[in-house]
Structure 1
Amino acid sequence: MGTQHTYRVIVRGTFDGLTEESRERLLAEAEEHGMSAMRFTEEGSLAYDRNLKHFSYRLVVVSEAADGDEMAGAIAEDRVEGALKELGHGFRDLRSKVTDMDTMKINYKR
């Protein structure tokens, strides 16, 4: 087993083909999934607005450093697909942005 890195991944997508039941549930929970609720967690944090057009998920992925950002993005997208399917929400056009927290440079003010 090689070195593992921690990645923060933002997966964005578009809701698609939502059923009436799915729309009602999303609208009922919209306040819980606003900007203030966004957190990077292993389970993922879903954020969207009442328009029910686009969404974002924030996740933490721990993966082999040798596999790089692409693998972390693929793992995150797979988790998001599973979570949305389990909830019964239709979606499309997933894309991810990955930040490797172990190689991120921090500029401290002196």
Structure 2
Amino acid sequence: MSRAVRVTVRGSFDGLSAEQMASLIAVAADHDFMNTQYTTDGYLSYDLPARPFFTFRFAEQAADADEVPQAAMRAQIKAEDWMAEHGYPIKNVTTQAVDMAEMPLGKRGRREASRK
């Protein structure tokens, strides 16, 4: 059985040129931090020029709990590769993975689980 893993990769843009900054600002509506989601390809959000930070959110899979760190590393590599492909220098990259199988069920989830 596969586990859903949500991976959040955060970092800072590092010394963007005026052209790079303008390019990112031009498509900022596509990367709105108020409309985030976890996707296989990753959802990039940022709030330039207010802050130099970015967040990528990835939906990954792991066969078991032991593979969660590998899922986190895959997501980080995807984020770093995307930034490099687009020529955006970055720094201070951190990654956080959440194994959704380990998340406690809320009231609705417990109610649905008790019906099964």
Once the two structures are overlaid, the 10-residue window that deviates more, 68-77 or 38-47, is 68-77
Kindly provide the CA deviation profile for residues 68-93 of structure 1, in whole angstroms up to 9, marking residues without a partner as x: 43222211111100111112111011
1:15 positional shift: 0.3
Which residue of structure 1 aligns with residue 20 of structure 2? 22
Which residue of structure 2 aligns with residue 41 of structure 1? 39
Whole-angstrom CA distance in 2 between matches of 1:58 and 1:101: 14
1:10 maps to which of 8, 11, 19:
8
Q: Which runs of 5+ in 2 are unaligned?
A: 112-116
Q: Please report the TM-score for the alignment, with normalisation by the length of structure 2.
A: 0.81
Query: What CA RMSD, in Å, does the superposition of the two structures yield over aligned residues?
Result: 1.8
1:21 positional shift: 2.6
Letter in 2 for 1:47: S
1:1-110 superposed matches below 5 A: 3-51=1-49, 52-109=51-108
Give the number of equivalent residue pairs: 108
Q: Secondary structure at the match of 1:92?
A: strand
Letter in 1 for 2:20: S
Larger Rg: 2
1:9 positional shift: 0.8
Q: Is the 8 A contact 1:37 1:45 kept in 2?
A: no
Q: Is the 8 A contact 2:11 2:92 kept in 1?
A: yes
Identical positions, percent: 30
1:67 positional shift: 3.0
